[in-house]
Chain A
């Protein structure tokens, strides 16, 4: 059973399109995150949700909008995609207060052409 699953694994799209990435965790965690990993492997947090409430919202263009329908799901919607959005996006989850232990999904490779 996959603990944190993301779909799709690969996403190739044209500039200007709108796309979504879905994330689900079956670990019973109450905190979920979105991270962006650029071509140089740098991992940067984008958003954090705790019990469906937005906790962290780093400086991310408002074209990126997270949605958490319930504690087990955190989706990422991206409007008007740009070339610079090409990256690997990772969803992660943790228990509230488990400061060091995040469980990551296997990532979504987004390529904007």
Chain B
């Protein structure tokens, strides 16, 4: 099953709060889990990524938590700022042959951080 389920669809957080976005997958062939951030009118951009042999990865205010047994991973944004308002996509990669990998995206979460 080449699917990544993402929730919530939208999220409103006050400035300074914690934003949490969750994702789940079924396909055990997925071997890398990135998060992408997309601002209106722009293409998605890689934010942070995690390998399945690591349970947590932190970069600044952004943290990925990964639970391999539950096949779930989540993005936490600490001290959320209005500039973080964007659509966030979780994703998962699987080998697609000829040295290439296919990236499957979740359906996205629109985050709004209000002052």
Contacts and interface: CB of A to CB of B under 8 A. Distances in A.
Nearest to A43: B105
B99 A102 contact: no
Nearest to A107: B43
A45 interface: yes
A45 B102 contact: yes
Nearest to A97: B99
B98 A50 contact: yes
B107 A48 contact: no
Interface string A40-65: 11111100101001011000000000
B41 A106 contact: yes
Interface residues of B, number: 29
A17 interface: no
B53 to A, nearest CB: 14
Contacts of B100: 31, 48, 50, 55-56, 96-97
Given A43-B89, A48-B96, A90 B103 contact: no
B102 A56 contact: yes
Interface string B21-43: 00000000001111000100111
Contacts of A90: 43-44
Chain A interface size range: 20 to 34
Interface in A49-103: 50, 53, 55-56, 90, 92, 96-97, 99-102
Contacts of B32: 99-100
A4 interface: yes
A106 B87 contact: no
Interface of B: 31-34, 38, 41-46, 49, 87, 89, 91, 93, 96-105, 107-108, 110
